[in-house]
Amino acid sequence: MPTEKDEVEVVKLDEIFKDNLALIRPHVCSIKSIKDANLCRLWLERLNACSAEEKVMRNVYVSELRCQVEAGILNPPFNYPPSDGTLAPFIPAVYNEFDDTPYQEDDSSQSDVSVTTLCQLYHDTEEESKLSAEASLTDVSEMQTEHGEWLQLQQQYEERIAADQAVINRYKQALTFFLTSQTPNEEGMNKIMQLENMYEKKISVLKLRIKELKNQNTNLQKNLENLQRSREQEKCDNCDWNSLFEEISNLKTKLADVQSSKDTLEENHREVLFHYQREMANALCHLCQRLNEAKLRNRNVEMKLQVALDQLENLFVQPSKEKLAHTTEDCECTENKNQVHDVNSKLMSLKSLIALKNEEVKHLEAVLKTHCFKMQEEVNFIKDDLKVVSEKKDKKFKAKVTELQKVVDKHCRMKAKLLKNYNNKLCYMQKERHLEVKGLELQLHTQRAEIVASLSRDKQKELEVMVENLEERYKEMLLETEKKFMRRQEEDQKRISQLEAELSDHLPKKHMSESQ
């Protein structure tokens, strides 16, 4: 069962394959012969039908095929149809120092390529490149539709550098694969050493080419500096705008936070006041209850004292008077005197108790009054503090709001100024772009005039002959189409007449059947 890691690797290999196909697609039109185009199609179908085990080698084949398609010429192993079996280990074509034309070593022949043959190949390919360049110069009209092609030159050179680096990596991969796949014998080691030397030479040549391309890239970058500066200025303006909007949003969020904190503080103060008032009201109610209870107790004590005094009068005063009236001797007795003295002492103690109770009641009333006065003073003090705090906070909030309003007005003014500057810069850039486009159009016209002047008379004659042949061919095709049209029209007329005759025959029969 394939693991998740294997599936991820397969997906990565498929993505690399798709990227190579996307790079091959625009260069297919540069293939010159129909045979090479058919071979390219067969190889792509074969590589697309590879199994999961062959995908690594498939990507190596596709990358090499991409390089050869970009060159416009197919070299081994792509100049022969692909085999039906599994993909063989790929050893990339070896490039010499003089030319980019690849060649592969054949094990059967094992013959070295001489310098004269290499020079001959170099001159042949140079002539072919000149012919292809002359043929491509005839398509100047296509260049006029792409006035921004000079911006893409840098990308093309960078892609070329990346392709050269990929070739170097492929050489290294092929070497490692060749070292790991074959048995170490003397002949194989000699071949490996030869391949390593040739690859090192090719790498040095590629490095020189990369340096040349970098120099060309620097020249192109000088042409792009003005556009990059303008873009950087636009980015700076955008950054200023973004910073201003961020500051405004931050100030708005701070204002909302301050407003929410103000609301929470007011709610907390209200809750504290409410709780304090409720506690003071509960304390007042409790003290009032205690006062009422003390008053009730005093009344009960007074009632009891009055009843006791009445009872004492009934018990002791009236009998004593009667006894004094009947017998004066009994009144002088010590026992009655002692009893009267005791009653008087009890009455004095009761009066003292009543006085103490009255003093306690007065003291409690005074304490209640002082507590109420203190509570009222504290409530008034808290109200004054809250008013002062709320006024201070309102002043602070109003000051902050005014400051924020000033900042917003300042940002609006800066925004208007920046908009004016930005519009002026845009107008200036549009004028510069317009002048650049006009300059490029003039360059294209001059190049076209030079190209037309450099074309030879023979090619002009060939073009005229080709145009005449095409005109004759189109005239013949027009005559044939007119003849076909006339024949078709005659056939249609015949068919219409036949249908009319059939209708004329069918209608009387139908009328006859209906009348019957």
Strands 102-103 and 94-95, by their bridges, are: antiparallel
pLDDT band at residue 277 using 50, 70 and 90 as cut-offs? low
Please tell me which residue, 144 or 111, carries the higher pLDDT value: 144
pLDDT band at residue 463 using 50, 70 and 90 as cut-offs? confident
Comparing C-alpha atoms, which of 2, 130, 97 is closest to residue 55? 2
Mean local confidence (pLDDT), 95-99:
37
Comparing C-alpha atoms, which of 90, 15, 74, 5 is closest to residue 42? 74
Mean local confidence (pLDDT), 414-433:
83
Q: What is the structure's pLDDT at 44?
A: 79
Distance CA 163, CA 159 (A): 6
Average pLDDT over the chain, rounded to whole? Answer: 70
Element (H, E) at 72: none
Q: What is the structure's pLDDT at 395?
A: 85
303 in Cβ contact with 409 (< 8 Å)? no
pLDDT band at residue 466 using 50, 70 and 90 as cut-offs? confident
* Whether residue 172 has pLDDT greater than 80: no
* Whether residue 302 has pLDDT greater than 60: yes
pLDDT band at residue 53 using 50, 70 and 90 as cut-offs? confident
Distance CA 363, CA 285 (A): 18
Q: What is the structure's pLDDT at 133?
A: 42
Return the bridge partners of 103, or none. Answer: 94
pLDDT tens track for 232-263: 766 666 566 667 677 777 777 777 777 777 67
Detail the DSSP E strand segments found in 42-136: 94-95, 102-103
**Cα–Cα distances in angstroms (integers) from residue 136 to residues 70, 131, 142, 460, in the given order:** 15, 9, 10, 15
* Whether residue 414 has pLDDT greater than 80: yes
Lowest-confidence pick of 79-83, 123-127, 157-161: 123-127
* Whether residue 100 has pLDDT greater than 80: no
Q: What is the structure's pLDDT at 128?
A: 47
Mean local confidence (pLDDT), 125-139:
45
Mean local confidence (pLDDT), 215-243:
68
Q: What is the structure's pLDDT at 4?
A: 63
Sequence-distant (6+) residues with CB within 8 A of 78 are 39, 40, 43, 64, 65, 68
Backbone angles phi, psi at 365, to 5 degrees: -65, -40
186-192-194-198 Cα dihedral, nearest 10 degrees: 180
Lowest-confidence pick of 154-163, 171-180, 282-291, 342-351: 171-180
> C-alpha angle 66/28/137, rounded to 5°?
115
Q: What is the structure's pLDDT at 2?
A: 52
Neighbours of 96 (CB within 10 A): 19
| Most trustworthy range by pLDDT among 101-105, 192-196, 224-228 | 224-228
Distance of CA 173 to the CA centre of its chain: 37
Q: What is the structure's pLDDT at 515?
A: 59
Q: What is the structure's pLDDT at 8?
A: 74
Mean local confidence (pLDDT), 204-218:
73
Polymer length in residues for the chain: 516
Please tell me which residue, 369 or 100, carries the higher pLDDT value: 369
95 in Cβ contact with 202 (< 8 Å)? yes
**Tokens (6 digits) for 143:** 């260049």
**Tokens (6 digits) for 515:** 């009348």
Decide: helix, strand or coil at residue 74.
Answer: coil
pLDDT band at residue 292 using 50, 70 and 90 as cut-offs? confident
Mean local confidence (pLDDT), 279-301:
77
